[in-house]
Chain A
Amino acid sequence: GENVEQHPSTLSVQEGDSAVIKCTYSDSASNYFPWYKQELGKRPQLIIDIRSNVGEKKDQRIAVTLNKTAKHFSLHITETQPEDSAVYFCAALNTGNQFYFGTGTSLTVIP
């Protein structure tokens, strides 16, 4: 199966600074990489995704980059705001149509 590693496990940034979360995956056949945000007591919700034929994707303050050769992808949040505080998960979709999640990053944005 797929193995997804995520770092860091916790991240604190000052409001307005940038936050970067990194993930690696093991299965070179995985072809879809979504990122989820989970607020306390809520369900994980998709915030951005990227397919393996794309190197970078941006949506307002959020961007994701993918390096297929190195099998790693990253989430970048710019101009962070307190409401960005949550647990973020990366995931990889393998050829068996199963989503494997990273271990999560607890992001705290300090006002």
Chain B
Amino acid sequence: DTAVSQTPKYLVTQMGNDKSIKCEQNLGHDTMYWYKQDSKKFLKIMFSYNNKELIINETVPNRFSPKSPDKAHLNLHINSLELGDSAVYFCASSQDRDAFFGQGTRLTVV
């Protein structure tokens, strides 16, 4: 059983498009996250979501929006994609300790 799963694994799309990445965790964790890993391997937190409380990193453009239909899901919607959005996006979940990561979604904007 995969603890944190995200889809798709690869996503190639054109500039200006809108896309979504889905994330589901079956660990019963209260907190879910989205991280962006750029070409330099930096892991930057984008959002955290805990008990309907959303904390947004102030550097994230408002083209990015997380949506959580329930505690086990935190999807990422991206509007008007730009070249600089190309990166690997990781979903993660935690319960008061270490974060479990999904396998990542490699987004390429062309």
Query: Chain A interface (Cβ within 8 Å of chain B)?
Result: 1, 32, 34, 38, 42-46, 49, 87, 89, 91, 93, 96-101, 103-104, 106
Contacts and interface: CB of A to CB of B under 8 A. Distances in A.
8 contacts: A34-B99, A44-B101, A89-B43, A91-B99, A97-B48, A97-B94, A98-B45, A98-B48
Contacts of B43: 44, 89, 101, 104
A106 B40 CA distance: 11
A96 B42 contact: no
B7 to A, nearest CB: 14
Contacts, number: 53
Q: How would you classify the secondary structure of chain A's contact residues: helix, strand, loop or mixed?
A: strand
Max chain A CB contacts within 10 Å: which of B33, B97, B98, B99?
B98
Main secondary structure of the interface of B (DSSP, over half): strand
A97 B31 CA distance: 8
Contacts of B35: 101
Contacts of A44: 43, 90, 101
Contacts of B66: none
A107 B84 CA distance: 27
B97 A32 contact: yes
Contacts of A97: 31, 48, 50, 94
Nearest to B102: A43
B55 to A, nearest CB: 6
Contacts of B99: 34, 46, 91, 99
B104 A43 contact: yes
> Which interface residue of A43, A49, A87, A106 has the most chain B CB atoms within 10 A?
A43
A63 to B, nearest CB: 17
A54 to B, nearest CB: 13
